[in-house]
Amino acid sequence: MGTMTQLLWTQLLRKQLIAFGAISLALLSTASAQERLRVVTTTSDLRALVKAVGSERVVVSSLVPAGERPERYAPRLQETSVLKGARVVVRAGPGIDPWFDKLLSRAAQKNGRTGIERGEKGHLDASAAVAANDPTLVSAGLAPRNRRAMRGAPVLHYWLDPKTADAITAAMVKTFSEVDPENKKYYEDNRKTFLSRLNYKLEEWQARLEPLKKEPLLAFHDDWDYFANRFGLNIVDFITARDGAPPKLGRIGELTKLIKDKNIRLILAEANQPERHSNMLADRTGAKVVHLAGTVGMLPNTDDYIALFDANVNALVAANNEKK
């Protein structure tokens, strides 16, 4: 065999070895992905917290698109396929995602029971985790906390209080460790790291929002009570009724007078909610509308749980500085 022929054979063998190595790595990568804990959440906020706890050891997807209100979401029949292979589901609460029970039933009929149904170890209700440390929370028939609950309607977006992440992530670690015990310490360590970052940021947010504590505020909807309670903000009233119905003209007149009488300078509005009435009040009174993100991913730069609060605090501080 000549030198040129040997060289060609060597090059061919090298290419075959490289190709074989690439295929082997791809197979190992696929196997690794299959071994990761498959988690499905109902909301993008819970998905963000799952990623904080599970990091590289989980594959997580959420059902409700970012920016949509989970209580109004209508899942499609084919979304049962998203639940196929899931070992854990994390829901916001029966009072927030009541449609999820029907979806689970459909998935069980199609795929068989897989341990993610209510009462199984792979089923986590985040609202119940929060209620364990806050007995005044409303989720599934629990006691009232905010003004809407006291008026007879369910409380919803508790995750807008960043301290609820403590109880939620603790419940995630417990559930993940029961389903995937080999990675218990990994989940525990990730949670500690995340909470360390969150608590550091919480001190920062509280300091930055301190100047707003004496400011009377108007909000579009009382989901923002959770955020306001955590940071000591004074929301004096809401634009919409407790059932979310738009305000009538007489109500707009009352709110106009309220804004002028109490010198309200900021109106808190959620980015996905109708702007007409907030803008009308702003035009009549000179108050400024501040658009906030009610869920992870609703606005740019809100791609994770901490970024959500960073963006909202930044928006409030900027608006307050503009009005000075």
Q: What is the pLDDT of residue 24?
A: 44
Residue 23 has pLDDT above 70, yes or no: no
Domain 205-322 adopts which CATH fold? Rossmann fold (3.40.50)
* Angstrom distance (rounded) from CA 190 to CA 173: 9
> pLDDT class for 263, splitting at 50, 70, 90?
very high
Phi, psi (deg, nearest 5) at residue 220: -65, -40
Q: What is the pLDDT of residue 6?
A: 57
DSSP H helical ranges for the chain: 3-35, 44-54, 80-83, 99-111, 126-131, 147-150, 164-179, 184-209, 225-231, 249-262, 276-285, 305-322
CATH superfamily of domain region 36-204: Nitrogenase molybdenum iron protein domain (3.40.50.1980)
Residue 293 has pLDDT above 70, yes or no: yes
Interval 154-173: pLDDT, tens: 457 899 999 999 999 999 99
> pLDDT class for 21, splitting at 50, 70, 90?
very low
Domain with CATH 3.40.50.1980 in the chain: 36-204, 205-322
Displacement of CA 282 from its chain's centroid (Å): 29
Mean pLDDT of the chain: 85
Q: What is the pLDDT of residue 154?
A: 47
Other beta carbons within 10 angstroms of residue 102's beta carbon come to: 10
Residue 211 has pLDDT above 90, yes or no: yes
Q: What is the pLDDT of residue 271?
A: 85
- Nearest CA-CA partner of 53 in 148, 168, 137, 134: 168
Tell me the three state secondary structure of residue 270. strand
Residue 8 has pLDDT above 60, yes or no: no
* Angstrom distance (rounded) from CA 238 to CA 219: 5
Q: What is the pLDDT of residue 3?
A: 52
- Ranked by mean pLDDT, which of 24-28, 186-190, 297-301 comes out on top? 186-190
- Nearest CA-CA partner of 151 in 77, 238, 37, 60: 238
Rounded to an integer, the average pLDDT of 283-312 is 95
Tokens found for residue 217: 């505020």
Length of the chain equals: 324
| Sign of the dihedral defined by the CA atoms of residues 192, 197, 198, 199, in that order | positive
* Angstrom distance (rounded) from CA 248 to CA 251: 5
Residue 274 has pLDDT above 90, yes or no: no
Range 273-282 contact pairs with CB under 8 angstroms and sequence separation of 24 or more:
273/220, 273/221, 274/246, 277/220, 277/239, 277/246, 277/247, 277/252, 278/220, 278/239, 280/252, 281/218, 281/239, 281/252, 281/255, 281/256
Beta pairing partners, 290: 268
What predicted TM-score, i.e. pTM, was given to this entire model?
0.83
Rounded to an integer, the average pLDDT of 116-144 is 73
Walk across the sheet containing 88-91 and list its strands: 58-62, 37-41, 88-91, 123-125
Residue 64 has pLDDT above 80, yes or no: yes
Instruction: Read off the amino acid at residue 93.
Output: G
Q: What is the pLDDT of residue 316?
A: 97
